[in-house]
A and B are shown apart, each in its own frame.
Chain A
């Protein structure tokens, strides 16, 4: 029986049921990267052969870390700072705050990409970009300047950005069940329907089979390239929304008997299913573009990221009969996928502040969301938004998120040695049984593989810098952001709790202090 506090006041917010949680978790995992990153990564890393390292990465790192996040959040019942404080009996709170500050950084620029996508839904109707989508994006729409910090606001970015923030704060203020869960209940089915419509149209275009041919033809030599395997682990890791507090926070709202392990399988495979669908849709469209342009698919530029979404796709939409509807579906899907992920990242920050300062979801949404919106608007509705978000995104993900994952796995496994307890927690409720192999994956495979990704990423950023940006710029806004996140995490850690989270006893588990293999259903 779980113990309760004498001075407990309000019950913790909860999902209305398993479906609400599953949809919200899928909504968090399925984001912009599924649509614009996976197809290009798969194509450049062996095509059909990439399927092998990709599935291996899903099963040996993606789903195991999902289970780790779920068990931490559900067992210790809180946002990341609360969870790591309880897990480590005080000393590890800073790791939780580091995950929260990572989320803070991401929401600042993630919102502006959603705002661009929402604008392009509208632009698709009259194909506003004309004959030159690249010139339109960089020149007319973003009015992009050189790397730096500009105070020149771009009104066409500012207006949708404010709109996105208003919608996000409003949903967040309604709380977990009435806000985040209901939004996902609407957004996720709508996203699936819209994206299915887009894929069906894409595969019926002339040249689509050439695109699919390029996408799925295996290059076996790629399997012997360690870089391809690292790309697979990176893709799985960065697309599942793991290790920066989201799944910890979301699972803390699950009821006590909730199925954690099988839910992790559903979310992991749903994320990959959407990526596969995106690969089929994107490469069918690229095949059409190649045919119209009279070049092979292999010679097409711009097959990933911002350039794929905001330059290549507008070109495709302009070439296509009835392209306006295709554009609305594509950019509408991007907007919805982004919104559901944004809500989950905001919830990480909101929940952490609610717990530390004893404020309500509405207060957290208005105060934290309000401040974040102002900073986001000040930094990313200007003419220097593009290089700034590109740099911050690179460093926050490759250094911050990867570092957080490695430290989390090492702390849980080797410092506090509570992995057997978390395995017992997973097995003490309905769902697939998690064996001792999970502890090996989380304790050995994940730190080694992600540690390699982290160290090689840091080394590259130190030696080569990032892209063609000047060193002063990447040092200031790349490494500077990482340093700021660490300092902020430290400051948040030393602030006093409104109510101490320490007098909490997690659920007792049968056989916890004996053979954990006996801890099962």
Chain B
């Protein structure tokens, strides 16, 4: 494998997989800041919703 190809492989890994890791960390942080509404939403009157 040439040095150029190796550099581009590493660059792709850093940018794409790094982007994924950073966005997951950001999502976790945002989630912790905001908290997830575990109590659900009020009924919004949407037609045809829910299961019997």
Contacts and interface: CB of A to CB of B under 8 A. Distances in A.
B15 A51 contact: yes
B12 A276 contact: yes
B5 A501 contact: no
21 contacts: A2-B42, A5-B45, A10-B51, A11-B43, A12-B50, A17-B38, A48-B4, A78-B47, A209-B1, A217-B2, A217-B8, A255-B37, A263-B27, A266-B23, A269-B20, A355-B47, A431-B30, A497-B47, A501-B46, A501-B47, A504-B46
Contacts of A355: 46-49
Nearest 3 pairs of A and B residues by beta carbon: A5-B45, A10-B50, A48-B8
A55 B34 CA distance: 30
Contacts of A501: 46-47
A17 B15 CA distance: 28
A148 to B, nearest CB: 40
Interface residues of A, number: 67
Contacts of B12: 48, 51, 216, 276
A270 B27 contact: no
Given A4-B44, A273-B16, A354-B49, A218 B30 contact: no
B48 A354 contact: yes
A265 B19 CA distance: 8
Contact of A266 (B6, B8, B20, B45): B20
Given A276-B16, A430-B34, A11 B49 contact: yes
Interface of B: 1-2, 4-6, 8-9, 11-13, 15-17, 19-20, 23-24, 26-27, 30-31, 33-38, 40-52
Nearest to A6: B45
Nearest to B6: A216
Contacts of A163: none
Given A48-B12, A212-B1, A357 B23 contact: no
A91 interface: no
Interface of A: 2, 4-5, 7-14, 17-18, 22, 47-49, 51, 55, 77-78, 82, 175, 209-210, 212-213, 215-218, 255-259, 262-263, 265-266, 268-270, 272-273, 276, 280, 354-362, 429-432, 497-501, 503-504
Contacts of A10: 43, 49-51
B46 A18 contact: no
A262 B26 contact: yes
Contacts of A78: 46-47
Contact of A14 (B17, B33, B40): B40
